[in-house]
Chains A and B, each alone.
Chain A
Amino acid sequence: MATPGICDSANLNGGQKLAVKYFTVAITLFGAQVLFGLLAGLQYLMPDFLYGVLDFSVNRMVHINALVVWMLYGFLGSVYWLLEEESQHEIVGLKLGNVIFWVLTAAVTVVVLVFLLVQVGPGKESTIWLINEGREYIEAPRWADIGIVVSVLVVFYNVAATFGKGRYTGIAGVLVLDLLALFGIYLAGMFYTTNISIDQYWWWWVIHLWVEATWEVMVACIMAYGLMKVLGVRRKIVETWLYIEVALMFGSGILGLGHHYFWIGTPEYWFSIGGVFSALEPIPLVAMVVHAVFDAGARHAKNSNHPTMAWLIAHAFGNFFGAGVWGFMHTLPQINLYTHGTQWSASHGHLAFFGAYATIVIAMFYLAVQKWRGDVWMSGGLPGNGWKWKWALGLLNLGMVGMTMSMLVSGYVQSQIERAIEGSSWIGYFAAQSHHWFVQGMWWREVFGVMFAAGFVLLVWDLLTIGCGEQRKLVPASDSV
C-alpha cells in the first residue's frame, strides 16, 4: 500500500482509475459551464458584449451542453467507481472502456470547438450531421450522437457483463435496466422531421425521460451506494428504499412527461395526464430526503467522509426543492399557460440541475479523492477545520439559491407583464424585458453567478489539496455490507 496522503493510482481498482478520468473531464466541463453561463448572463445586461463574436446563442448552447455532458461524465464515472466493489468482480472490458473514454472525450472536444468556431451552417441536413442540430440540449451534431450511443452501449456492456459474472445486487439490477433505458431513449432524438409538433414530441422523450426519470433513478443508485459507504447503512435498507424510489419515480415521471405536451400541438387530454402525474413527481424526492436524513440521524451523522455526506444532504434537499417544489410551482397547465417559456423555467432549471445532479456528482468527487489518497481521514478535525470544502459548499449553494430567486423575480415580471397584461406579443415581451424589476433580477443573477464561480474555484482547489499529507486513516462506517 502506498503512503497515505498522496494521490496514488495503486489505491484504486481498475474501474476507479477509469472513473477518475471521467471525473476530471466532468469538473473541467463544469468550469466551462460556469464560464459560459457568466458570459450569457452578462449579455442580458450588456447586449453588445461579444455581439457578432460569441453571440448569446453560442454561449448559451455551450453553457447547457457542458452541463449535460459533465453530468453524463459524472454519472458514468460514478458507475465505474462503484462497479468493482459492488459486483466484487473485475470489470470485464476495462481496456475497451478506456478506449471509449478517449474516443468520447475527443468527440466532445471536437463538438465544442465546432460550436465555438463554426457556430452555424447553411439550412441543409449536412449542417445537422456535421455542425449543429439546433435542438436545445441535444445540439450535438448527428455524428456525435452516434458516438454517444456507442459509448453508452460500451458502458452498458461493461456494467451488465461485470455484474453478470460477479455479485448481482439490487443496485446492480436497477442500474443495468436504467442504463438500457438511458441508451434507448436517446435514440428518440436522432432523426429530422419538418413537423415541429412531432419534433418536439420526441425531443421531450429524450429531455424529460432522461432528466426526470432515468437520471433520477441513476442518482438514487449512487445515493444508495454513497449512504452504505459513508454512513454504513445496511444494504437491505438502502435497496428497499431504492425500489420504493424507482416505483414512485417512474410511476410519476413516465406519464409526468405529459406536462411538456400542453402547448406543442398535442391533444387536450395531456392537460389532465400531465398535470396529475407531474404533480406527483415531488413525492419520490420527499422519500429520498426522508431516507437520507433519517439514515444520517440514526447514526448521529457519524460518517467517514464529511464533505461527501454534506453534499449528499445538499443533494436530497436540492433535488426536493429544485426539481420538486420549483417544478410543481408551474407544472399545472392553468399556471403554465403564463409561465411556459419565461424565466420561471430558467429558475427551475438552474436549481433542479444543480440540486439534483451537480451535488451528488460532487459528493462522488470527494469519495474518489479520499480513496485516491489512500483511504485517508476525511471526517472532523481537518486542517483549517476544513474551511475550503465548507466555504465551497456555502458559496456554491448560496450562489445557486441567489440565482434561482433572482430569475424567479424576473419570471414573475415576465408572466405578469408580458403574458397576463400585454398578451404575449413581441411588444409585451420587450415591455417585460426592459422593466426595471426584470432587469434587477438579471443583475442579481449575475452577482450570484460570480459568487457561484468563486465557490467553483474553491471547490477545485479543495479537491486538489484535501487529504494531502494526511496520515490518519479513515475509520470505516459501521455495519457496512
Chain B
Amino acid sequence: MATNQWWASESFWRKTAIWVTGGSFVVLMLLTMDTISQISVGTTRVPAYSVINHRIEYKFDEQRRVQVPVIGVKEPLFGKELNEEEAEALVKLGKLTTQAKNCMNCHTLLGNGAYYAPDLTKSWLDQYWGTSEIREVQMVEFIKDPSDKLHNSMGRRMPKLGITDEEARGVVAFLKWMSSIDTNGFPYNFKSIEQEN
C-alpha cells in the first residue's frame, strides 16, 4: 500500500493540527471579547445590580418565541431603594454566600450544578413562594433555617447552613438580580408567580 500519499503523511497532519488549533483559539478569543462586552453588568443581557429596586417579570416575546425578563415598575427589595454601590454590595454578599455555602452541589444556577434540589435561575419568580407580597420574608426565613419548613412530599430537605439574616438578604438580592438575566428562554415555559398590582 502506498504510504507516501499526502493525506497519510505525518507532516501534513502535524501542520493541520497546529493550524486548526491556532485558528480555533483565535476565533474563540475574538468571540470571547465580544461576549464579555455583552454580558458585563449594566448591559441589556445582564442588568445592573440596582435592578433589584424594580419588579422583574418573565414574559413571552413574540419575536424571539421564548420568555425574556422584563424590568417593570419600582418595587425595591425589602422596601428600601438602594443606590448602585449599595445594591452591588448586597448582591456580592449574596453571591459570596452561595459559594461559601456550596449551594451549587445540590442546586443548579443557570442550569449548572447538581440535581438534588431545584434550579435557582428564576427562583425569585417561582410560585412556590405563594404571593409576591410575602415572598421576600418567606425566602429570608427559609434560607436561614430550612430544616423545619415545608419542602416536598419526598422528605428531601435543605439543611441549616448557618446563614445569617444579612447573608440571607444578600442571597435573596442575588437571586432577584439573577432572575433579570436574559438566558435565551431557559428555563422554558416557566410559570411565574402573580405580580399584578
Residues of A within 8 A of B (CB): 40, 43-44, 47-48, 51-52, 55-58, 60-61, 119-125, 127-128, 131-136, 139, 170, 174, 192, 194-198, 200-201, 236, 239-240, 243-244, 246-247, 250-251, 254-255, 257-258, 261-271, 273, 337-338, 340-343, 345-346, 414, 419-420, 422-427, 429-430, 433-434
Contacts and interface: CB of A to CB of B under 8 A. Distances in A.
B25 to A, nearest CB: 6
Given A47-B156, A125-B96, A255 B115 contact: no
Contacts of A43: 116
Contacts of B104: 134-136
Given A120-B100, A254-B25, A267 B35 contact: yes
B88 interface: yes
A435 to B, nearest CB: 10
Contacts of A127: 96, 99-100
B36 A346 contact: no
A230 to B, nearest CB: 22
B102 interface: yes
B21 A246 contact: yes
Contacts of A61: 102, 105
A425 B17 contact: no
A45 to B, nearest CB: 10
Interface in B173-189: 178, 181-189
A120 B162 contact: yes
B160 A263 contact: no
B17 A263 contact: no
A124 B101 CA distance: 10
A57 B45 contact: no
B45 A267 contact: yes
Contacts of A346: 115
| Size band of the interface chain B makes with A | 35 or more
B10 A263 contact: no
Contacts, number: 249
B186 A340 contact: yes
A263 B110 contact: yes
Interface stretch (B71-79, B122-130, B133-141): B122-130
Given A139-B102, A267-B35, A197 B161 contact: no
Contact of B31 (A58, A134, A273, A434): A273
A57 B162 CA distance: 15
Nearest to B96: A123
A75 to B, nearest CB: 19
A57 B16 CA distance: 44
Interface in B4-42: 8-10, 13-14, 16-17, 20-21, 24-25, 27-28, 31-32, 34-36, 38-41
A127 to B, nearest CB: 4
Main secondary structure on A side of the interface with B: helix
B97 A123 contact: yes
20 contacts: A55-B106, A120-B162, A121-B100, A134-B100, A136-B105, A194-B91, A195-B46, A251-B21, A255-B28, A264-B111, A267-B38, A270-B35, A342-B115, A419-B187, A422-B191, A424-B188, A425-B191, A426-B126, A434-B152, A434-B154
A72 to B, nearest CB: 20
Given A267-B38, A268-B184, 7 more contacts: A57-B106, A120-B102, A196-B178, A197-B39, A267-B39, A425-B190, A426-B128
A417 to B, nearest CB: 12
Nearest to A61: B105
B17 A120 contact: no
Contacts of A425: 126-128, 190-191
B100 A251 contact: no
A196 B191 contact: no
B189 A419 contact: yes
Give the top 5 A-B pairs by smallest Cβ distance, nearest first: A134-B99, A123-B97, A424-B187, A243-B13, A341-B111
